[in-house]
Amino acid sequence: MKSKTATKTLLTMLFSLAMLFLLVGDVSAKEAKTSTYVLDAKSGVGYQTAFRAYANDISNSTTIMLPSNDCSVSVKATGGVVAKVTYTSLSIGENGYHSNYNLKDKEGKEIQFKGAATIAVFSPKDGTYYLNVTVKKGKKQLTRKKIKVIFGYTSMIEKISYAGKTMEFSNLVTTKGSGKLSVKVGKDFALKKIEYGGYDAKGEVQYKTTKNNKKITLSGQKTFTNVDYSYGFDDPDASYANESGSDVNYIYPVTFVRITVQDKKLGIQQTNTVEIYKK
CA angle 29, 30, 32 (to 5 degrees): 120
**Residue 251 reports pLDDT greater than 70:** yes
Q: How does pLDDT run across 46-73, given as a tens digit for each residue?
A: 999 999 999 999 999 999 999 999 999 9
What is the pLDDT, as a whole number, of residue 221? 86
Q: How confident is the model at residue 266 (pLDDT cuts 50, 70, 90)?
A: very high
Question: Which runs of consecutive H residues, i.e. helices, occur in the chain?
Answer: 2-24
Report helix, strand or coil for 17. helix
Q: Please, which residues have CB within 8 angstroms of residue 10's CB and are 6 or more apart in sequence?
A: none
pTM: 0.78
* Percent of the chain residues past pLDDT 90, beyond the cut: 72
> By C-alpha distance, which of 7, 84, 100, 10 is closest to 46?
100
pLDDT-derived band of residue 230, with 50, 70 and 90 as boundaries? low
List the 254-263 sheet strands across, edge first.
171-174, 268-278, 254-263, 189-199, 205-210
Q: Please state, in angstroms and rounded to a whole number, the distance separating the CA atoms of residues 274 and 203.
A: 18
Q: Which of 8-12, 32-36, 101-105, 134-138 is predicted least confidently?
A: 8-12
pLDDT at 162: 98
**What pLDDT does residue 203 have?**
84
Indicate the pLDDT class of residue 227, thresholds 50, 70 and 90: low
pLDDT of residue 219: 95
Q: What is the pLDDT of residue 237?
A: 56
The answer, yes or no, to whether residue 20 has pLDDT greater than 90, is no
HSE, side-chain direction, 13 A CA sphere, residue 79: 16
pLDDT of res. 201: 82
Phi, psi angles (nearest 5°) of residue 96: -75, 145
Q: Determine the Cα–Cα distance for residues 207 and 193; give it in Å rounded to an integer.
A: 12
Query: What value does the mean pLDDT take over residues 4-26?
Result: 45
Q: What is the pLDDT of residues 205-214, one digit of tens each?
A: 999 999 999 9
DSSP assignment, residue 35? -
The pLDDT tens digits for 132-190 are 999 999 999 999 999 999 999 789 999 999 999 999 889 999 999 999 999 999 999 99
